[in-house]
A and B are shown apart, each in its own frame.
Chain A
Amino acid sequence: MATAADPAAPGAVASATEDNRPIRPRASRDEIAQRGVIGVLVLYLVLALVLPIGMVFSKALQQYAFTPDQITIAFGRGGAFEAPRSLQSWIDETGYVVNDGLRASERTRVQIVRIIPRPARAGVEAYRVTDASSAGGQLLLGQEFSAPGQTIEVPAADLGRIQVRPQMSYGLGNFGYYFSQKSLSDSIRNSFVIAAIVVAINVPLAFGFAYALTRTRIRHKEWFRLISTVPILVPSLLPAIGLVYLFGNQGILTPLLFGASIYGPIGIVMASVFFTFPHAVIIMTIALGGADQRLYEAAEVLGASKRRTFWTVTLPGARYGLISAAFVVFTLVITDFGVPKVIGGDYNMLALDIYKQVIGQQNFQIGAVVSIVLLIPAVIAFTVDRVISRAQTAQFSSKAVPYQPDEDVRRDRWMLGHCIAVSVFILGILFMCQFAALAKFWPYNLTLGFQHYQFNKMDGGGWAAYWNSIRLAFFAATIGAVLVFIGAYLVEKGRGFVAGRIGLQFLAMMPMAIPGMVLGLAYIFFFNDPSNPFNFLYGTMAILVINTIVHLYTVSHITATTALKQLDGEFEAVSMSLKQPFLRTMTRVSAPCCLPAIGEMWMYYFVNAMTTVSAVVFLYSPSTNLASVAVLNMDDAGDIAPAAAMAMMIFYTNAAVRILYGLFSRNVLGSLQAWRAR
């Protein structure tokens, strides 16, 4: 603690005591409390984010190879043992190809009987096999690994029971293997191509929609705005399931594809456009909403045509929004695995590869390698987005006059058409899912009923999964909102301890750059290690809550700091001079003022905790099954109608919570926020 004077401290206040030591002002009790809280939050983010991610890197470097030169075998003939010979010399002599020449993985095993041909073993009564390595574990007999230097003696008939295990070392071998596998490294290209196509479709689409909401006089804007946010309320699996019903072999709209298959790039692109659309619209609405009427008046006075005004005023004004939306959409597509899982057919994507390597093949090392490959675009996109958002704040001046769209019937008619088309696409998919969930046996028996809601008879965890999801969403939202707000408050309004505050700010921004799948995998590596004191969390609801809070930390943190920035620093100055602890200022002044933002954070946590699949798919246990994961697993098993039913349950829940929150904020928050009105 900084209460003790440090003679070497350069920033120490230059007043001297009797023994001539410079002293610094004593940290007040309040400052110590602040440091403590910052320390706890930093520790939390280190334990729940930094260390697990570090494990991914270390796992990716673990490579396995056979070391037969460290195994010797001696033949026992006529009651005596001959001189031991290394297994390597046998391999050299017989030309045996270990493991068919394939790279060994953690679980590859080779039998000694395969290496030493039977004729060479004629007349042998017993064998002594020695593990000559210093680490041990070269040999496996029945259930036991060999100890360093251990010699196992077996009768001739039991040599078949001795297996050789590969040894672990650290190196870049897994990366070399990964890039040598065409089917794996093709995923990189596929992911980039798909993400680029979705950006190319979605950015103009969302721009048009946001333009209609901000720059036209079409009616029912609030309805269109509401519809455009619907995809946020559902897991990304839902549009993929809806598209199977619409465009699959038995789909209503299948002829529109002219013989092309929905399974593959077409389906992935369409479903990805659906689930990333609201993110692009929100960013673009903000970018277009801040226009300055004076620029348009100037353009008109200068005689610029509407087209010219659009290209020279409107678009440049929204450029940051366009770039930001493009990067956000790109990252969302490249890190999502739900869509390609359901509708991707055999089209490999990066995020799906992680799932396949870990769940399908139990190959954790390669899963870690793909994770690191996936981290690169996510980190780049994140960096660009941060740089841009900083540039954007400088754009608005206090003299700006809000833009008022002029009367233009033709423009409005086109824009209304655009909004209706997009809304039909969104609601059509939703409606299709609901219908399919109720149809008795699609497509042969369309009688409606609720039999697909009997989740307890399916894979995926049943109704318990649904209630678990609600518990998770509630805990993550409530704990998360409080935690993030305290952290943001200390970063924004705290005093002193600059290093701690900068550190917390940095850690708070990190989760956005980490794809959910990578975080989930990192948690397996970190928390499932029996030597980790937090191992007891593995498989519990707590680990899901911890993971979800971290996974969604950044956006909430930004929301909170933005709201706090709007509050005058004088509050803290006044409360400090009145010797009030920060906790009181925060709970009595800042938090009530920021209640709308805290509410938004709570909603954001809740909705995303209900829909997320990627982060939790590696972490749920059978007693903590989740609704979103159940959708995935039911679709996986081919129970696609119940999957649609569960996905719609998630939608209804989120929509209901959203509406309740809307009512709550209008009535309660409205009265609390009365001070904002003049």
Chain B
Amino acid sequence: MTLFARATAALLLSAAAAAAQTELTVYTAFEAVDLDRYKKAFETAHPDITINWVRDSTGVVTAKLLAEKDNPQADVIWGLAATSLLLMKSEGMLAPFRPEGIERLDPNFVDQDETPSWVGLDAWIAALCVNTRELERNNLAAPTSWEDLTKPEYAGHVAMPNPASSGTGFLDVSAWLQMFGEEGGWNFMDRLHQNIKFYTHSGSKPCKDAARGEVTIGVSFAFTGAKAISDGAPLAVVFPSEGSGWDMESAAIVAETDFRAEAETLLNWAVSEAAMKEYNVGYAVVAIPSVAQPVENYPAGGLDAMIDNDFLWAAENRERILKEWASRYDGKSEAK
């Protein structure tokens, strides 16, 4: 073989190697603005893998994954609520895997099984988005606790997500039941219900409605509020003093993936410090506590506000809670 031929062969080989890109189909409910940044960061670290995002809201992605149960299209789920992944796990759709460096993660963020089926990445925490201008206009003081919200002066000023259609709403309800006990929780919601202007379908809407002054107080998430403030909304974000429900954006490998090795690479990267720094741009609380830096307009005390959330309890009692909730509060406007 001549030198020239050898060189050509080598060149061809390297070309083939460069072309050997694996495309991973990744289902996600990450915020639309974050997608490009996460993809770029990962692909820079692992140029041989390309991420093909399939993105929608939490409810839709969950429905889609469950609908495709017998014929999964996704390789990896990256950025979906842990409560949704618990559902997938109970359907036998996730492949257990222990990512490298998982011991640095706060144990609250990791599936309890010996080999975890999913890992949490960052937390989103329930908070109140309070429109300060509307407070002023209506001569109201800012609420500081959940209990405050039930005061008669807030009647018709509060919006919250419907737990039946919004994972966020369910998170709030399950947190109240855990914090105040079964009886106290329902009692609280009975009183809160008197003040609710409307229940929304999505979890971020109450906060954006509060930002526009459509309602005065939106029961929503801290990061949505922080973002709205940066956009110029007259908002204050409040962690209620009793504590807040929370959920995490998490990641898992789909059991039937054809690209197990690449999926593991992605999961290893998803829990790395580099990834945590990316999550930290929008989220104040991430799975590796030492990485976390303060986020613009994000109120302090997020970590302390998080209650000791029992996800398994919430998942097991979901149907019962939703049924009870619907029988108490659904179709509120027709009673008028």
Do A and B bind? yes
Q: Which residues of A contact B (CB under 8 A)?
A: 99-100, 102, 105, 107-109, 111, 140, 142-145, 163, 181-183, 186, 190, 244, 248-250, 261, 263-265, 341, 345-348, 356, 358-362, 364, 440-445, 456-460, 462, 524, 528, 530, 535, 539, 621-623, 633, 636-640
Of all chain A residues, the one with the shortest Cβ separation from B325 is A183
- Which chain B residue has the least Cβ–Cβ distance from A440? B232
Q: Do A345 and B320 form a contact, CB below 8 Å, given A140-B92, A528-B71?
A: no
Question: A441 with B232: in contact, given A109-B90, A143-B92, A145-B92 (CB under 8 Å)?
Answer: yes
The stretch among B1-9, B144-152, B237-245, B326-334 that forms the contact with chain A is B326-334
A122–B228 Cα distance when bound, in Å, is: 56
Cβ contact of A444, chosen from B55, B133, B329, B333, cutoff 8 A: B133
Stretch at the interface among B173-181, B194-202, B261-269, B292-300: B194-202
List of A residues within 8 angstroms of B232 by Cβ: 440-441, 444-445
Residue B257 lies at the interface, judged by CB distance under 8 Å to chain A: no
Residues of B with C-beta under 8 A to A346: 162, 198-199, 329-333
Given contacts A249-B214, A622-B53, contact A638 B92 (CB under 8 A): no
Give chain A nearest CB distance to B214 CB in angstroms. 5
Other-chain contact of A348, B205, B207, B234, B330 (Cβ < 8 Å): B330
Give the Cβ gap from A467 to chain B, nearest Cβ, in Å.
17
Residues facing A in B232-287 (CB within 8 A) are 232-234, 255
B17 within 8 A of A: no
Question: Which residue in A142, A244, A264, A524 is a CB contact (below 8 Å) of B214?
Answer: A244
Given A263-B197, A458-B32, A444 contacting B234 (CB threshold 8 A): yes
Contact with A along B184-219 (1 / 0, CB 8 A): 000000000000011111101111110011110000
Known: A108-B319, A638-B209. A263 touches B91 (CB 8 A): no
Do B333 and A345 touch (CB < 8 A)?
yes
A358 to B59, CA, bound (A): 9
In whole angstroms, what is the CA distance A181 to B324 when docked?
Answer: 11
Residue from B71, B95, B319 having most chain A Cβ neighbours under 10 A: B319
| A-B CB proximity, top 5 nearest | A638-B208, A360-B165, A638-B205, A183-B330, A530-B71
Taking a contact as CB atoms under 8 Å apart, the answer to whether A105 and B327 are in contact is no
The reply to whether B213 and A444 form a contact with Cβ atoms under 8 Å apart is yes
Q: Say which residue of A347, A530, A639 sits within 8 Å of B70 (CB atoms).
A: A530
Chain A residues whose CB sits within 8 angstroms of the CB of B234 once the complex forms:
444
CA distance A640 to B207 in the complex (A): 12
CB–CB A638/B202 < 8 A: yes
Q: Once the chains are docked, how many angstroms separate the CA of A636 from the CA of B205?
A: 7
Is B213 in contact with A250, judged by CB distance below 8 angstroms? yes
Contacts between chains A and B (CB distance < 8 A), count: 155
Least CB distance, B310 to chain A, in whole angstroms: 15
Check if B323 is an interface residue, CB within 8 A of chain A.
Answer: yes
Interface window among B38-46, B60-68, B102-110, B301-309: B60-68
Q: Which residues of A contact B198 (CB under 8 A)?
A: 261, 263, 345-346
Chain B binding surface, main DSSP class: mixed
Knowing A182-B327, A443-B212, A638-B202 touch, does A143 contact B319 (C-beta < 8 A)? no
Min CB distance B266 to A, Å, is 18
B57 within 8 A of A: yes
B92 in contact with A442 (CB, 8 Å): no
- Distance between A62 CB and nearest chain B CB, rounded to angstroms: 14
What are 15 residue pairs bridging A and B, where the CB atoms are less than 8 Å apart in the complex?
A102-B320, A105-B319, A143-B93, A143-B96, A183-B330, A183-B331, A263-B197, A360-B164, A361-B322, A441-B231, A444-B213, A636-B57, A637-B208, A638-B205, A638-B207
**Cα-based distance from A562 to B105 in the complex (angstroms):** 70
Q: A594 to B208, alpha carbons, bound, how many Å?
A: 51
Contacts of A445 in B (CB 8 A): 232
Does A444 lie within 8 Å of B233, measured CB to CB? yes
The reply on B94 being an interface residue by CB < 8 A is yes
- Residues of chain A within 8 A (CB-CB) of B54 are 621-623
Q: Determine if B214 and A359 form an interchain contact, defined as CB atoms under 8 angstroms apart.
A: no
Task: Tell me if B73 counts as interface (CB < 8 A to partner A).
Answer: yes
Q: How far is the CA of A364 from the CA of B63 in the complex (A)?
A: 10
Query: Which residues of chain B come closer than 8 Å to A462, judged between CB atoms?
Result: 32
Q: How far apart are B189's CB and chain A's nearest CB, in angstroms?
A: 14
Say whether B202 contacts A524, CB under 8 Å.
no
The 8 A CB mask of B72-106 against A (1 = contact, 0 = none) is 01000000000000010011111110000000000
Q: Which residue of A has the minimal Cβ distance to B163?
A: A360
For residue B212, which residues in chain A have a CB less than 8 angstroms away from its CB?
250, 442-443, 640
Residue B33 at the A interface, CB < 8 A?
yes
Q: How far is the CA of A602 from the CA of B245 in the complex (A)?
A: 52
Is A261 a contact partner of B207 (Cβ separation < 8 A)? no
Question: Is the CB–CB distance between A102 and B71 below 8 Å?
Answer: no
Question: Is B233 within 8 A of A441, CB to CB?
Answer: yes
- Chain B residue contacts of A249, Cβ below 8 A: 213-215
Min C-beta distance of A520 to chain B, whole Å: 13
Cβ–Cβ < 8 Å partners of B317 in chain A: 100
Determine whether the beta carbon of A359 is less than 8 Å from that of B90: no
**B92 adjacent to A361 (CB under 8 Å):** no
Chain A minimum-CB-distance residue to B200:
A638
Q: Which residues of B contact A261 (CB under 8 A)?
A: 197-198, 333
Residues of A within 8 A of B214 (CB): 244, 248-250
Residues of B within 8 A of A144 (CB): 92
- A143-B94, A143-B95, A636-B205 known, 17 other contacts, Cβ within 8 Å: A143-B93, A186-B334, A261-B333, A263-B198, A264-B333, A346-B198, A346-B330, A360-B164, A360-B201, A441-B233, A457-B33, A460-B32, A528-B67, A530-B71, A623-B54, A638-B200, A638-B204
Known contacts A348-B330, A457-B33; is-contact A528 B68 (Cβ 8 Å): yes
Residues of B within 8 A of A457 (CB): 32-33
Are B319 and A359 neighbours in the complex by a CB distance under 8 Å? Answer: no
B202, A636: Cβ atoms closer than 8 Å: yes
Assembled-state Cα–Cα distance A264/B198 (Å): 9
Do the beta carbons of A459 and B166 come within 8 Å of each other? no
Q: Specify which chain A residues have a CB less than 8 angstroms from the CB of B334 in the assembled complex.
A: 186, 190, 265, 347
Tell me, rounded to whole Å, the shortest Cβ–Cβ distance linking B314 to chain A: 14
Specify which chain A residues have a CB less than 8 angstroms from the CB of B327 in the assembled complex. 182-183
List B contacts of A248 (CB < 8 A). 214
Q: Which of B53, B67, B317, B336 has the most CB of A within 10 A?
A: B67
Closest residue of chain B to A462 (Cβ to Cβ) is: B32
Quick one: which of B162, B224, B320, B330 has the most chain A CB within 10 A? B330
Inter-chain CA distance A430–B209, complex, in Å, is: 21
Interface pair B57/A633, CB less than 8 Å apart: yes
Residues of A within 8 A of B208 (CB): 637-640
Question: Chain B residue with minimal CB distance to A266?
Answer: B333
Cα A443 to Cα B200 in complex, Å, equals: 20
B323 near A102: Cβ-Cβ < 8 Å = yes
Rounded to whole Å, the gap between the CB of A419 and the closest CB of chain B is 33
